[in-house]
Chain A
Amino acid sequence: MPIKPKATKSVAKQTAKKTITKKATLDFVGGWSYAPSPESKDHIRLEKKYGHFINGEFVKPSAGKYMATHSPSTEEHLADVALGDAADVDKAVKAARKAYDTVWSKMPASERGKYLYRIARMIQERARELSVIESMDGGKSIRESRDIDIPIAAAHFFYYAGWADKLEYAFPNRTVTSVGVAGQIIPWNFPLLMAAWKIAPALACGNTVVLKPAETTPLTALKLAEIIRDCGLPPGVVNIVTGDGRAGAALVSHPDIDKIAFTGSTDVGKIIQKAIAGTNKKITLELGGKAANIIFEDAPIDQAVEGIINGIFFNQGHVCCAGSRLFVQEGIADKVIRKLKDRMETLVVGDPLDKNTDIGAINSREQLDKINHYLKLGVKEGAEMWQSSCAVPRKGNFCRPTIFLHASQSHRIVQEEIFGPVLAIQTFRTVEEVLEKANNTPYGLSAGVWTDKGSKIFNMTSRLRAGVVWANTYNKFDPTSPFGGYKESGFGREGGLHGLLPYVNLK
């Protein structure tokens, strides 16, 4: 397989055609095309129908209703999964409570940890199957599910496994106790990874859980249920109820839940926060974002361009911490935008299972409609839209990588989270100006800064009001690294030592 070359300005248009050159000589200038390189699906095991995973086994939904889950790229029907309701949730919570009272809270912490290590290992063993299913069900490129989602999910279990018997060292001068039964609701953008982020710290701290995967991406969570079962985890410690928002609502309002952890949109986060008012439920919210990615004149420009690309086009832009607002210092704006366009022309949009694919399928028709709505809106508001000229499959939900030039603070494409491969670009002159603009948003999840000047980095990183700040890098994640937002991007942290806090009571 040829190494992907950096496109230069002159070849941007040719690259787009993706035709195989017939010249016999080696062409280092023209665009290269790629032979299809799809990951094989033949080794994965998918049932036709999945029930809920409650009390250690797959059970039929109490109302007998199922929903279909499709591939957003091929539109192929992948499986039917249970459509959960309040009765299913109640059953799962009861199982979790029983497991908490009788087994999990009484087990020596080091033994709890060993179960988590087992889960981590088994995720690694079945990594390839999980990656393929993740890309089939969610639409993300196999390169990302294989190299990022699944390995980090396993690493998360591995990291928190080790905390289980060391909690007394995490919070000085405090006695740590578990919270009880955690209700966890996760989004569709990183289905297995989010399940790991939620389940691993909860279990390590001695809690039991009821997890509700996203409606459009339930399959890897159900595969995780198989792994959990195969690991011999005591029944009821982890319960997984699939379904739509109704199952989520039932979980939030269930009186026997001690803690709610939600990752998703800010709108739904606010509804959940409101719904549990007056109860003793602990809560953490990881909500939306509209991150500023700031490029200074003294930045390493080629690296910064890679950072912009990774910031907004990683996972089709379905990332709450995506660098969706680009701020480029005026003096280099033309150069950066030119290089950015060139680089965008090299991005391959298409089959998520193809190893050459950079940008896979948009997760659902609904989400694609939302993105398209914003594209129209951006143009209507007066920003200048530019899209790469890449070929896009006819079938399935796809969106070309898109940038908006001449965007301004008041534009809705600048203010609102689009959750797609859409970047709004603004320019700035001074540090004060860009800080004011970057912080002038209700969100505060993440930010990026690009400059080779150390003191400027620290000035920026300390004054940006966001929970994760990437300097001269972007969209990096690690189990040891706390993640979470300021302001309306939510509260509480996931990952690292700080990620234990939502799952413990301190006395």
Chain B
Amino acid sequence: MSRIGILKTYKIYIGGQFPRTESGRYYPLENKQGEVIANICLSSRKDFRNAVVAARGAFAGWSGRSAYNRSQILYRIAEMLEGRSAQFIEELILTGSTRAAAEKELHQAIDRLVYYAGWCDKYTQIFSSVNPVQSSHFNFSVPEPTGVVAVSAPQDSSLLGLVSVIAPILAGGNVCIVLAAEKKPLAAITFAEVLATSDLPGGVINILTGKTKEILPQMASHMDVNAVVWAGNSAEEIKQTQETGAVNVKRIFNWTKNDWTSAQAQNPYLIFDLQEIKTTWHPIENIGTSGAKY
């Protein structure tokens, strides 16, 4: 008798752990042939709130890491992704890709992580300034991470799209809660397993599966979410998110126009979107007419 295989329970990722949704709900995931291939967690708003708490708790630590360390961790994620290539390709095929397309998507996703790993300790230099004020002060402006970012991931590009939106957020020192593509959640769930083994502190990235219709309004209304990155498909969705998000002056970004397979879809301006500019002033001692300046 042949061995009975072990079926995988697909779970969500909150605070570095893999719980099931607290709601106990699920939705069946079907393949192209209409066969059920997995029961996916139908995350609730309580799951989302738990994820925000985990993310907020992780923010000081992650944003306080040295840029070099963040860079190495992003690179480590790329390494782990490369090591699990076979699994990702199989799961992308399961959710409708051809093998060739799956391989291409995976390779681009890995390269994208490496691209942003390199930006971690460089974007600050691109976007900072020392400001030549008239008075005798040293004055400089630097980007700082916005904080807790809620992400509605691209629906079509379930791995590359996901990586492309997470990486710039992460590189900039933010923490996030991501809602995976509703109909193609497998890559996101497995990506959580990659994150869990990449020295990324728990809570920095939290991944939920479920329905955009349920979770997106929670993202927009939550008072401890600083920004929403939306890469979905419906104009009504983004409109409502913008409307609701005004409740605490959220920064709301529509990244949906990006073609994630193009080289244009990776750039430091996406990191910059989730940054606040802080300007610091300090007097320069100015005795007589010595007039030191920067």
Contacts and interface: CB of A to CB of B under 8 A. Distances in A.
Interface string B231-272: 000010011111101111101000000000000000101000
A469 B280 CA distance: 5
Interface in A484-500: 484, 486-491, 493, 496-498
Contact of A480 (B132, B269, B283): B132
Contact of B279 (A266, A278, A468): A468
Contacts of A481: 131, 133, 139, 141, 279, 281
Q: Is the interface of B mostly helix, strand, loop or mixed?
A: mixed
A270 B246 contact: yes
Contact of A461 (B240, B251, B280): B280
A308 interface: no
Contacts of A489: 249
Contacts of B277: 467, 482, 484, 493, 498
Interface string B85-123: 000000000000000000000000000000000000000
Interface in A8-45: none
B222 interface: no
Query: Which of B226, B279, B282 has most chain A Cβ within 10 Å?
Result: B279
Nearest to A474: B281
Nearest to B133: A478
Contacts of A490: 249
Interface in B167-196: none
B33 interface: no
Interface residues on A, range: 35 or more
A469 B279 contact: yes
Contact of B131 (A276, A466, A480): A480
A471 B129 contact: no
A506 B268 CA distance: 12
Contacts of A472: 282-283
Interface string B126-154: 10010111110101010010100000000
Given A442-B248, A469-B280, A481-B281, A277 B131 contact: no
B139 A497 contact: no
A486 B276 CA distance: 7
Contacts of B278: 461, 466-469, 486
Contacts of B133: 476, 478, 480-481
B243 A274 contact: yes
A233 interface: no
Nearest to A271: B246
Contact of A488 (B132, B141, B146, B248): B248
Nearest to B243: A277
A51 interface: no
B282 A473 contact: yes
A173 to B, nearest CB: 8
A483 interface: yes
A491 B249 contact: yes
A174 B126 CA distance: 13
A287 interface: yes
Contacts of A127: none
Contacts of A506: 269
A497 B246 CA distance: 27
Contacts of B131: 478, 480-482, 496
